[in-house]
Amino acid sequence: MPQSVDKKTMARLSPFSERNNFRLISVLVFVAALFIAACSTTDTLHPSKTGSVTDAPRYVFYFIGDGMGLAQVELADAVLEDDSALEMTTFPVAGVAATHAENRYITGSAAAGTALSTGYKTTIGTIAKNGDRSADLKTMAEMARDKGMRVGIVSNVSIDHATPACFYAHADSRRMYPEIAVQMASSGFDYFGGGYALGDLENGKPLGALVETMKDSGYTVIQGWEALGKAVPGRKYWAYGSYESSGALKYAIDRAPDNLTLADFTRHGIRLLENDRGFFLMVEGGKIDWASHANDAATVAHEVVDFDLAIAEALEFYRSHPDETLIVVTADHECGGLGLGYADKAYESDIGILRHQKLSAQAFAEKVSRWAESKRVSFSMALDSAKVYFGLGDAILDSALVLTSEEKAALKKAYTASMSGDNGGQAYGKGDPLTVSLTELLNHKAGIGWTTGSHTAVPVPVFAIGKGAHEFCGVYDNTDIAKRIIKVADLSR
């Protein structure tokens, strides 16, 4: 099973062609056309005009790409082979949502997650509580539970991270990981899937107390393929995969073929949650944000594709229940100020060269750290690695990858800083100097720029399909996404 998913991913990321420039423009025109078409044909999308309770979709999917601005979506689409498109961009309805927090123009995952889960603005860092943290805000997942629907929460970062937390927990700060994680046990939700809980980790090792609390509350706690495959509907589960010290699953670009993926946790979630009273399933692609914070464009593209594979699982379910299913895909905010154009290249783009990056900046930095310890890797060996893992310097792969003497000199400077254990100061931000230099160089050669290592205030895309999808057409606030889901799915009773 993991092999098949992996093959699918590989097939979709097959070599890039010269039609890329045309493709960039055509996809944008296509998205704009979709938007206009969807907004002008809402009547044909109305499943019914009676407005009765029976109109509510029985199955509700809510996909949140953390840090996934329209540029991140377009980047992944541009890296895909020409004859394929991201599933989310094929949805018949598109919208645009503003993201600001109650007390800051540029939002964070907690405030944005609260807006997306409750329909109310809150302050930075707050999890499903009002701005002054004096009262809890009921989340749509809790409403779905109270309506008798089954509820699932899936994320490929730790399950107590801000976005998933905003659906089952209430906390003054997103950093209160143990206090957040324990609220999984009292939530009464049916399925938690993906990463481990940061609140039960110490130096990357599990403490185990949370597992006991979950078991005491009636949950079966499972890890890995076999156990997830044997899980049976009607029981409550916390299922997690192989995780890093942060509790998150590995980046898609780095993971082993037998690692459970976001799509796997989504597919099994659907299997476990399906029942006559319906379900609500939230799925977060959490590492689009992490890779964007690192300004690591190739890893971003892989994460968006990985997120889209999870969406494809919901879409498959939708095709067999088209009159009873609503799928909404959005983001909490953009991250990195990703620009699909770079000053030195003016109107030129070589986005396809990102396909030659073979691991995340994070994984490469871990290699460089080991080189610094061993002191056995020369600069020419480092350049060989740059060729293997980033394609940089490999003229046979693509002439855009050739390194100039100035670029080699800059890499030598960065290499020296990395080997001395020096962080290189301001020039390299917070990252490893050589890794930062290589990813930045590849991005610039591809025609990509970043404005920041933080979030931005640029509005985010909303894609919808299924029963009630027409409600998501237009330009609105992120709180409206939650309000509309709650209304369409009749959750607030």
Q: Interface with Zn ion by CB under 5 A: which range of 116-124, 302-310, 325-333, 378-386?
A: 325-333
Site string for Zn ion, 7-46 (x = CB under 5 A): ----------------------------------------
CB nearer to Zn ion: pick between 150 and 293: 293
Least Å distance, CB 184 to Zn ion, is 20
Q: Interface with Zn ion by CB under 5 A: which range of 63-71, 129-137, 268-276, 425-433?
A: 63-71
CB nearer to Zn ion: pick between 74 and 332: 332
Q: Interface with Zn ion by CB under 5 A: which range of 106-114, 206-214, 269-277, 412-420?
A: 106-114
CB nearer to Zn ion: pick between 284 and 480: 284
CB nearer to Zn ion: pick between 173 and 242: 173
Rule CB under 5 A: is residue 109 a binding residue for Zn ion? Answer: yes
Residue 64 to residues 90, 282, 405, Cα–Cα distance (Å): 17, 8, 43
Identity of the residue numbered 227: A
Least Å distance, CB 328 to Zn ion, is 17
Return all residues near 152 (Cβ < 8 A) that are at least 6 apart. 189, 190, 191, 192, 193, 269, 272, 273, 279, 280, 281, 282
Least Å distance, CB 59 to Zn ion, is 25
CB 146 within 8 A of CB 183: no
Q: Could you give the CA distance from residue 187 to residue 138 in angstroms, rounded to a whole number?
A: 12
Site string for Zn ion, 284-303 (x = CB under 5 A): -----x--------------
Least Å distance, CB 47 to Zn ion, is 32
CB 263 within 8 A of CB 312: yes
Q: Interface with Zn ion by CB under 5 A: which range of 30-38, 64-72, 211-219, 366-374?
A: 64-72
CB nearer to Zn ion: pick between 109 and 357: 109
Strands 93-98, 460-466: pairing is: antiparallel
**CB-nearest residue to Zn ion:** 109
CB nearer to Zn ion: pick between 20 and 292: 292
Q: Could you give the CA distance from residue 481 to residue 460 in angstroms, rounded to a whole number?
A: 11
Which residues in 361-420 contact Zn ion (CB under 5 A)?
Answer: none
Selected from 332, 350, 432, 440, the binder of Zn ion by CB under 5 A is 332
* Residue 398: both structure tokens together: 């693509």
Number of residues that bind Zn ion (CB under 5 A): 4
Q: Could you give the CA distance from residue 313 to residue 308 in angstroms, rounded to a whole number?
A: 9
Residue 356: phi and psi, rounded to 5, are -85, -5
Residue 89 to residues 19, 51, 232, Cα–Cα distance (Å): 19, 28, 33
CB nearer to Zn ion: pick between 2 and 453: 453
CB nearer to Zn ion: pick between 145 and 293: 293
Q: Which of 215, 211, 212, 217 is nearest to 240 (CA)?
A: 211
Residue 443 to residues 29, 84, 92, 372, Cα–Cα distance (Å): 24, 23, 32, 25
CB nearer to Zn ion: pick between 57 and 65: 65
Q: Which of 338, 354, 472, 458 is nearest to 13 (CA)?
A: 354
Sign of CA dihedral 421, 427, 432, 436: negative
Using CB under 5 A as the criterion, which residues of the chain lie in contact with Zn ion when the complex forms? Answer: 66, 109, 289, 332
